[in-house]
Amino acid sequence: MRRLISFRDFDWVLLGFVLLLSVVSVLEIYSATLHTKFIHFDQKQILWLLGSLVCMFAFSFIDYHLLLDVAHWAYGFCIVALLAVLLAGQRVLGARRWIRLGSIHFQPSEWVKLVLIVAVARYFSHLAGRNLGWGDIFKAMAMVGVPMLLVLKQPDLGTALTYVPILLCGLFLGGISFKKAAILVLAGGLAIIPVWHKVLKPYQKQRLVSFLQPDNDPRGSGYQIRQSLIAVGSGGIWGKGATKGTQTQGDFLPIPYTDFIFAAFGEEHGFVGAALVLLLYFLILMRLIQNAQTAADLPGTLIIMGVVAVLIFQIAVNVGMVIGLMPVTGIPLPLMSYGGSSVLFTFLALGIVMNIRMGRFVN
């Protein structure tokens, strides 16, 4: 008989790092929206954080093996939800990404990440101990590819790309051979041409072009990258101080409370502040990896590493975008950018991680 899990076995250190980063997020959202029409976004973010925290504690008491058992049903529900977005979703700035439920805008594509992490972990844990064949690889690619294509149709390239590290993590930990991995990399490189001509929208192509040559259209497609670089560079070592960033407060930096919040933070708190935030991310990721290494079984390890893969990808792409090393994709910075769907996904994922950790101490 299994004894009940308890909060005694909770990873309070990990939660402390997460809450500290969340506080930094709220303060920066307040600063970034101080002189805009979005002045109450920091209060909304606090409400999302409190609600997500409650959900995390609730999720931490749901046995992750139960989530693995219902993963196929959850996957089917997500496909239906994504189809509903395409058919009846609310159109904002030319894209259908949200379903409106009263005053709440629900973005199913964020939930798909969590379901895919569990579904991919379930799939590869069942293949443990055998060499991955091409059939196994193609099934995993189809599992991730179907929701990815539906999200691309919205269109939402940024969120769709966050599904890729889940697949790559599963293939790597599932034991794909070097030869098959090399073939997939080569095939992916060859697929760039048809994707460019058939899949990407004109504005997405323009973002990639402006990333390579931002000075060609400094007031158009290259504006975001140029203003971000100016903001980060003007912060210097110590920054200009909270609420004193000229690019942020002067409304030159686009959407500084979401996609470019790291640029706004870098301008106001400088290199030192940015380095401390990156250190917090490092500590969170290392704590997650430690929990993955000590998980009671392979599915638990795969789930946590799936969460790690998504977080690393989002952090790398967002920070790289801010400093001009990556194209603008609209991928939020986890635990920093404003947005309820992103915050809820992160805390629910942490809830599953906590359950896996506490499962180590259950007889």
Spatial strand order of the sheet with 90-92 comes to 90-92, 95-101, 104-106
**Least confident among 118-127, 204-213, 283-292:** 204-213
Q: Cα(241)–Cα(270) distance, rounded to whole angstroms?
A: 8
- Does the pLDDT value for residue 363 go beyond 60? no
- Does the pLDDT value for residue 51 go beyond 90? yes
CB 38 within 8 A of CB 29: no
Decide: helix, strand or coil at residue 108: helix
Q: What is the mean pLDDT of residues 45-50?
A: 93
**Cβ-proximal residues to 13 (8 Å cutoff; 6+ apart), any chain:** 287
Owner of token pair 């990896």: 289
pLDDT in tens, 278-322: 999 999 999 999 999 999 899 999 999 999 999 999 999 999 988
Query: Helices marked H in 33-107 — which ranges?
Result: 41-59, 64-69, 71-88
pTM assigned to the model: 0.90
Cβ atoms < 10 Å from Cβ of 138? 11
- Structure confidence at residue 130 as a pLDDT band (50, 70, 90): confident
**Least confident among 2-16, 111-125, 305-319:** 2-16
User: Between the CA atoms of 300, 301, 302 and 303, what dihedral angle is there, to the nearest 10 degrees?
Assistant: 50
Q: Cα(21)–Cα(28) distance, rounded to whole angstroms?
A: 11
* CA neighbor of 224 nearest in space, from 247, 242, 196: 247
* CA neighbor of 113 nearest in space, from 326, 295, 308: 308
pLDDT in tens, 315-333: 999 999 888 888 887 788 9
* CA neighbor of 303 nearest in space, from 184, 197, 166, 188: 166
Q: For residue 2, what pLDDT is reported?
A: 44
Terminal alpha carbon distance of the chain? 7
Q: For residue 243, what pLDDT is reported?
A: 84
- Structure confidence at residue 213 as a pLDDT band (50, 70, 90): low
Q: For residue 3, what pLDDT is reported?
A: 46
| Mean pLDDT, rounded, of the chain | 86
- Structure confidence at residue 57 as a pLDDT band (50, 70, 90): very high
Q: What is the mean pLDDT of residues 183-205?
A: 78
Query: In terms of C-beta distances under 8 Å and separation of at least 24 residues, what long-range contacts does 70-77 make, across chains too?
Result: 71/115, 71/118, 71/119, 71/122, 72/119, 74/115, 74/118, 74/119, 75/115, 75/116, 75/119, 75/143
- Does the pLDDT value for residue 85 go beyond 90? no
Q: Cα(255)–Cα(253) distance, rounded to whole angstroms?
A: 7
pLDDT in tens, 241-289: 888 888 888 778 888 888 899 999 999 999 999 999 999 999 999 999 9
- Does the pLDDT value for residue 81 go beyond 90? no
The Cβ-side half-sphere exposure at 204, using a 13 Å CA radius, reads: 19
- Does the pLDDT value for residue 218 go beyond 70? no
Query: In terms of C-beta distances under 8 Å and separation of at least 24 residues, what long-range contacts does 105-111 make, across chains too?
Result: 105/340, 106/341, 107/341, 108/78, 108/81, 108/82, 108/84, 109/82, 109/85, 109/147, 109/151, 109/154, 109/156, 109/159, 109/160, 110/159, 110/341, 110/342, 110/344, 110/345, 111/78, 111/81, 111/341, 111/345
